[in-house]
Structure 1
């Protein structure tokens, strides 16, 4: 077995190919009810459809984009600094969490004080853990069951719709055929739903209700405020999820960072 190269934080970097612009597309953001709710999507341009009278215009289409700032050419990526903490303001505004003065784990404190690990640390990423205040519940399910629509839920509703309304409007503007296609896209064959409750448009209230019923989950830990809200459930775009973890036998932090970069 080849020796695993020693990981040094000072040498950490992102694969250049991972931040290259994708062809015929651009990253856009759809704003929610407040300026801090900016939902990323990918706008993909389409070629004209050849016709006898020239070319028939096709509007751009919008797709789910979970690549984070990696695919935003306006953002400079430095994994030593980490990702922006986009959800910190939302978490703090709820007033049900508190920041600890130190790591709560004895093992964590020992590792933090271990001089042999100094070269592996990211000083600019030193973040003190946050926890729920005494007697408080800080899960999205708890908020949902209290009838509260959180910014995370609104973010998800916008993300799930993939800017569909804007696309249908742009399709109608291409002419009679586009108008006909837009009308057809609003139809849904009744079929057999097998218990699913698919919507023509996902609203923040629908997101809240599905979470409250236990039929969907938002994997947003309060100690990962950099994570973009997304939802997993049968009535949403993502049905399953996968986790990545390194092995002491056959992988390194370098390899795990690369796998995570390409996975998203």
Structure 2
């Protein structure tokens, strides 16, 4: 859709270039122990070694693929319907969630009742939001600490292995050069395991153990069943985040969905919607329903828009409602700047580049205006209760990070980092 065209939900469509077949490769699925665990990878064809160098066949190599159905020629893509709810059955069979009769967020209900938004609204969502049953904890960390290996954990183990075992066997069968390559693939710097016993092949039990120990997270909101399970942690593959989002200057819902599809096509493992412009709620719904990767946000950005950009007018009640609104849409992780404490703010006065974090500057302005401790800090335990009810992961934002080498490692930065470390123990 052209940027100048008005967005109309009924005629929305995916950018055809974003779903064109990728050259010399194909989408493959590796099966798990259950019929509903089919893990996507990209199989890349390789040319045979020429006769002058030994004339050996080179087997296809497998790489991580986070593009979802968009790069599968067999998939029918209609962004008005969204992606299939891959994890819906897994979530339901655990029996610890309940379907809500209506949205819990006041703002969400107001938007849903506004007929003027009908032409922008995502038309394909026909299910109600879910929440943990009273007293239940539906986070993957909770399951991991109870010794439960979830389908998500098995999916992740297969995904992290990249079919490496089968690839090495095919290399060995190719000939002398293939045998040499197979040996080289196993060679790496030993690194520092920090107490982890990293197996040669990632197992579902290893995934469970790393999550239980707090060394890895699985960002999978129960209201984002379209997402393909993935893991972020020091003993797993490196992941890349891509930021998108509209602003007061422009960008339509169609453009934001296009940004998301292009981001995951080129390797974005997660996407953050940092929208600060119009129709943030509706834009986010379209992105989540069409995203196979986890979606993150900085909730304070939308909360600020609700008070017309006046940081001093923010309240805990507005922020809390925003958390619930976004959690029931399916946001998988929140960046929350809960370590910006009132006593740290004066420590930035002599900085060369001041406070460069947008979230940090918003909370600093609020703290100074009210001369009170940040409501993100004083209500942190309640934030945890909200997030565990939907399985939303934390990204503890460093709101006092330095913007220059001159300011690096000052009292403000280290004080906030100490506070963030303390918050991880709650």
Establish whether TM, by shorter chain, passes 0.5. yes
Match of 1:118 in 2: 118
Match of 1:159 in 2: 159
Provide the rounded CA distance (Å) in 2 between the counterparts of 1:224 and 1:239: 19
Match of 2:175 in 1: 175
Provide the rounded CA distance (Å) in 2 between the counterparts of 1:233 and 1:35: 27
Unaligned ranges ≥5, structure 1: none
The offset of 1:4, in angstroms, is 5.9
Provide the rounded CA distance (Å) in 2 between the counterparts of 1:122 and 1:58: 46
Match of 1:77 in 2: 77
| Contact 2:155-2:229 within 8 A present in 1 as well | yes
Provide the rounded CA distance (Å) in 2 between the counterparts of 1:41 and 1:258: 22
The offset of 1:80, in angstroms, is 0.2
Match of 2:401 in 1: none
Query: In 2 relative to 1, CA 66–134 (structure 1 residues): closer, same or farther, beyond 3 Å?
Result: same
**Relative to total residues, which structure has the larger helix share, 1 or 2?**
2
Report the secondary structure of 1:91's partner residue.
Answer: helix
Match of 2:232 in 1: 232
Unaligned ranges ≥5, structure 2: 265-426
Match of 2:404 in 1: none
Aligned ranges 1:10-89 → 2 under 5 Å: 10-52=10-52, 55-89=55-89
Larger deviation: 111-120 or 181-190? 181-190
Provide the rounded CA distance (Å) in 2 between the counterparts of 1:111 and 1:126: 16
Larger deviation: 238-247 or 60-69? 238-247
Q: How large is the Cα RMSD of the aligned pairs?
A: 1.9
The offset of 1:113, in angstroms, is 1.4
Taking structure 2 as the reference length, what is the TM-score of the superposition?
Answer: 0.58
Match of 1:195 in 2: 194
Match of 1:256 in 2: 256
Report the secondary structure of 1:49's partner residue.
Answer: coil
Match of 1:220 in 2: 220
Match of 1:100 in 2: 100
Report the secondary structure of 2:55's partner residue.
Answer: strand
Provide the rounded CA distance (Å) in 1 between the counterparts of 2:235 and 2:241: 15
Kindly provide the CA deviation profile for residues 15-59 of structure 1, in whole angstroms up to 9, marking residues without a partner as x: 111111111000000000001000000000001122338732111
**Which structure has more RCO (C-alpha within 8 Å, separation ≥ 6)?**
1
